[in-house]
Structure 1
Amino acid sequence: MVKQQISLRRKAITPISAVLLSASLVACATPTNASGTSATASTSMPSTPAASETRKVTNAEHELVFHVIDGKSPALVLDAGGGLSSLYWKDLAPRLAKATGSKVVTYDRAGEGESEEVSGPWRVENAVSDLEAGLKELGVTKDVVLVSHSIAGEVATNFVTKNPGWVSGAVLVDANVPDFFTDEMLTAFAPMVEEQRTALLAQPSTKKNRQLLAVMVDYAPAHRVFHKLSWPKDVPVTAIVASQTPFADSPAAAELWRDGQARFAQAGPNRKHVVAENTSHEGIVTERPDIITDAVDDVLKTIR
């Protein structure tokens, strides 16, 4: 039934498969809001951004760039979606630093922003290794609160599962969660993924396209593995869901996304489910930074 419903929306192949592959392919620096216009920073943002330090970390023979706003523990680690660099957090990072007094870390995953590209398929375990290396170099190895957007939800889930005791809480911002990637969904979207791959191979090779193609390798098998993961019961997590969802042009896919997010929130203790009204997948951090700040504050209250 799911496959039949989704096939009715084949005209939306490009945006749907792009989200499935990297969960957010944002080429422009300024996100769009739910109405399709450019989103600007909230007027309640700090007028003077907190000073940050840039640190370069080498892991597995490639260089990664981290940015740190100094503060107290617990540290907030912000991880942006696919196609997005640490600039995604340029307004929210200083806002969180000012509101919480916490150390705030942002970074560019391999192939994003200022970090070096890595050849071959994208593997979430490699992304986890990169984050581990960076946080160890920064001395941030306990009381971490992850704030993860889109595909970074996969990194967060694998990171917290692999490193018990390292993460004290998390806020998932319209992020990939295991419950969404059912076998039924992956089977239904397989033709769209293949069409997207063919279209990308016909285009000029760009950094963005190379990253997307890397994510496509073994996409279904990798996400069947992801689907089997469970968020640890002892780590509080809030799942914030954009009202528009990543699938603005496909009501069937949007319903699957909302259902997956709700199942995730209901599947264990210490989990919250928040719908951010009038927000889009990419623009949520500028459209409703207050919701993210409040969610982070709630998590901090449970661990301080």
Structure 2
Amino acid sequence: MFRTIRTTALTALCCAAAVPGLVGCGVLSEVGTDLGSAAEEVQSDLEDAANEVLTEGQLFTGTKTLDVDGASVNVSCSGTPADGRPVIVLMAGMGDGLDTLAGVQETLAEDERVCSYDRLGEGESDQPEGLQSIDDAGATLTAVLEDVAGDGPVVLAGHSLGGLIAARYAPDHQDRVSGLVLLDATSPTMIDDITGVIPESATGEGAEVRAQNLAIFQGENPEGILIDSDPEVRPAGDIPVEVIQHGVRYLGEIAEYGDDLERVWTEGQEQWLALSDRSQLSTAEESGHYIHVDQPDVAVEAIRRVTDEAAA
């Protein structure tokens, strides 16, 4: 999730409920019953029931706001739930709303139940009250999952910071997370990676990249989220994990330090393989950081593979 002033290297471092058309037929046994009033009452009861179903995350389609500890979180869901299939939850990167994943969600929803959401500070969700930790982001994710999947299994597919949050979340929620797809996910040791490559004495573009990224990791970002380096990647159980890295070497464009930044980025992707013995790393050869935009078919196929394995 590197950020740099150079535009070409920015941001390295998202039912209509199944309610049938219901027609109420009242059987009236008392003379003088007001048919019009009874029909209105039945219709009102049906509308209340339909609205109650629409609030159940597992069934709604479209977007809605979810209250999470008094904050409004924007959630989107598509597709029909299927027995034995996990719900897919898409997680955007820093600075992005769920709209950046809309194309992937639409494609996957042809066969799967798929949801996405805006973290606090992103998209249509509320701003956080103060600085957040990765654990705070995980608490918001838990609330979303409880709403859209209930107690059922989920596959998390995260881009950039969304991938890091998903990878940190899964080990502590092995009863819920049955698969992971990490799309150019932020490295678990990103701060150390940057400071190890670009020294404090750097000047020019390198100095700007270093300072900008350190500020972001210290909370100067839309989510107010603090991101620490932590080399420990805890196992998330025997789940399928696909880690996909960019193939277009856009970090290499950063003067003097580009090649080493590309190297540590790849090393960071390899660290995520420790999440599971069923992890695999691949490269989206024609993609920059936004794999789901540059090669959406690569993202979709990986998510489908992991979902199929998780459901087997």
Root-mean-square deviation (CA, aligned residues, Å) is: 3.0
Is the aligned partner of 1:53 residue 2:62?
yes
Q: Matched residue of 1:145: which SS?
A: strand
Q: Distance in 2 between matches of 1:85 and 1:54?
A: 13
Letter in 2 for 1:105: C
1:109 aligns with 2:135: no
* Matching residue within 265, 272, 282 for 1:257: 265
**Does residue 1:142 correspond to 2:152, yes or no?**
yes
Q: Deviations over 1:93-138 (max 9, x none)?
A: 110111xx21100110001000000132231111111111122122
Instruction: Tell me what 1:77 maps to.
Output: 89
C-alpha distance in structure 2 between counterparts of 1:74 and 1:140, whole Å: 11
1:273 aligns with 2:264: no
1:289 and 2:289 equivalent?
no
Instruction: Identify the residue that residue 27 of structure 1 maps to in structure 2.
Output: none
Do the aligned residues in 2 keep the contact of 1:19 with 1:246 (CA within 8 Å)? no
Q: Map of 1:13-162 to 2, 5 A cutoff?
A: 14=5, 19=11, 23=13, 52-72=61-81, 73-98=85-110, 101-162=111-172
Give the structure 2 partner of residue 244 of structure 1: 248
Moved more, 109-118 or 157-166: 157-166
Structure 2 residues not aligned, in runs of 5+: 14-59, 201-206
Residues 251 and 261 in structure 2, CA contact (< 8 A), matched pair in contact too: yes
Q: TM-score, normalised by structure 1?
A: 0.71
* 2:11–2:289 Cα contact (<8 Å) kept: no
Q: In the aligned structure 2, how far is the partner of 1:174 from the partner of 1:70?
A: 26
Note the C-alpha offset of 1:233.
3.6
Specify the code of the residue in structure 2 equivalent to 1:67. Answer: S
The separation in 2 between residues aligned to 1:213 and 1:140, in whole angstroms, is 26
Deviation of 1:274 after TM superposition, in Å, equals 1.1
Relative to the length of structure 2, the TM-score reads 0.69
- Asked if 2 retains the 8 angstrom alpha-carbon contact of 1:144 and 1:166, the reply is yes
| CA shift for structure 1 position 58 | 1.4
Larger RCO (alpha carbons 8 Å, 6+ apart)? 1
SS in 1 for 2:308: helix
Contact 1:86 1:106 in 2 (8 A): yes
Residue identity in the other structure for 1:82? M
Number of residue-to-residue matches in the alignment? 246
Q: What letter is aligned with 2:65? A: K
Partner of 2:50: none
The whole-number CA distance in structure 1 between the counterparts of 2:272 and 2:178 is 18
Q: Is the 8 A contact 1:243 1:278 kept in 2?
A: yes
Q: Distance in 1 between matches of 2:288 and 2:197?
A: 24
Structure with higher Rg: it is 2
Q: Deviations over 1:45-104 (max 9, x none)?
A: xxxxxx942121111221101001132231110000000000011111110111xx2110
The Cα shift of 1:237 comes to 0.5
Residues 181 and 198 of structure 1: CA distance in aligned 2, closer, same or farther (over 3 Å): closer
CA contact (8 A) 1:122 1:211 kept: no
CA contact (8 A) 2:237 2:275 kept: no
5+ long unaligned stretches in structure 1: 1-11, 24-50, 201-208
Measure, in 2, the Cα distance between the counterparts of 1:256 and 1:198: 16
CA contact (8 A) 1:82 1:150 kept: yes
What is the CA deviation profile of residues 153-196 of structure 1, one whole-angstrom value per residue up to 9, with x for unaligned ones?
A: 22102221221210110111111242x44746545558457732
Deviation readout 1:263-290 (Å, 9 max, x if unpaired): 43377410111100111102x2122111
> Which residue identity is paired with 2:72?
E
Flag the 1:286–1:71 CA change in 2: closer, same or farther, 3 A.
same
1:66 counterpart letter in structure 2: V
